[in-house]
Amino acid sequence: MKALTVRQPYATEIIRGRKTLEVRSRPTTRRGPLAIHAAQAAADGWEWEEGGEAEFPRGVVMGTVNVTGCRPFTPADVGAAYMLPEEFCEGLWAWELAEPRAVKQFPAKGKLNLWQLDEALLQTP
């Protein structure tokens, strides 16, 4: 199965079903299941609140989603992408995500772009 590394808090919000668009600089032709890996680094400017380590784990595979489409990112997409309106910029791509599913978390080292993950490691919590 292909996997995507996403910084926190966004990885958790994807698995919770709140973040339904992942914004990337490149489009994807990928459709179907995709594992979500929480990066070791948190998103720029994001600070841990007390107890945040448990709620927003890093360096683990958290779950899966289905990539259902990909299209140019528009100003109307900022909410679904968990961005602020002033963060909008042209030339980005919105990967459409659906059907999030949590798995029993396990440590993994992430990579840039899509990477291969052994599907046998994914277990329902």
Domain spans in the chain, listed from the N-terminal domain onward: 2-113
Rg (CA), the chain: 14
Which CATH number is associated with domain 2-113? 2.30.130.30
From first CA to last CA, the distance across the chain in angstroms is: 18
| 42 CB-near residues (< 8 Å, 6+ apart) | 7, 8, 9, 48, 56, 58
Q: Residues 60-92: pLDDT tens digits? A: 999 999 999 999 999 999 999 999 888 898 999
* Intervals of the chain under pLDDT 70: 48-53
Amino acid 51: pLDDT:
63
pTM for the complete prediction? 0.92
